[in-house]
């Protein structure tokens, strides 16, 4: 079974499905017992999913809500200086 550092090194390979049977089995055994590594791999999966979603967005321009929030942030930053 892998150590935490070995799981961290191979986490993206696991998510991408690029591990062989035994390596995948060893990681899954480790994840069954290690809450920290399970959380780490879950976070990596979420990041991977969000990145894929961002790449498929058809409208790269920010929405009006985002523009307004950025404008408020800029005004707030200028007041502090």
Residue 81 confidence (pLDDT) above 80: no
Which pLDDT band holds residue 80 (cuts at 50, 70, 90)? low
CB of 8 closer than 8 Å to CB of 36: no
- Residue pLDDT, tens place only, 39-79: 999 999 999 888 888 777 666 677 788 888 888 888 877 77
- Angle subtended at Cα 60 by Cα 13 and Cα 49, rounded to the nearest 5 degrees: 25
Question: E-assigned strands of 1-81?
Answer: none
What pTM does this model have? 0.66
Spatial separation of the C-alpha atoms in residues 4 and 46, rounded to whole Å: 19
Spatial separation of the C-alpha atoms in residues 22 and 39, rounded to whole Å: 22
What pLDDT is attached to residue 36?
A: 96
């Amino acid at each position: 079974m892998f150590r935490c550092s070995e799981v961290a090194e191979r986490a993206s390979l696991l998510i991408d499905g690029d591990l062989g049977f035994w390596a995948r089995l060893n990681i899954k055994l480790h994840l069954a017992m290690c809450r920290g590594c399970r959380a780490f791999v879950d976070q990596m999966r979420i990041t991977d999913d969000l990145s894929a979603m961002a790449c498929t967005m058809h409208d790269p321009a920010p929405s009006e809500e985002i523009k307004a929030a950025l404008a408020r942030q800029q005004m707030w930053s200028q007041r502090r200086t």
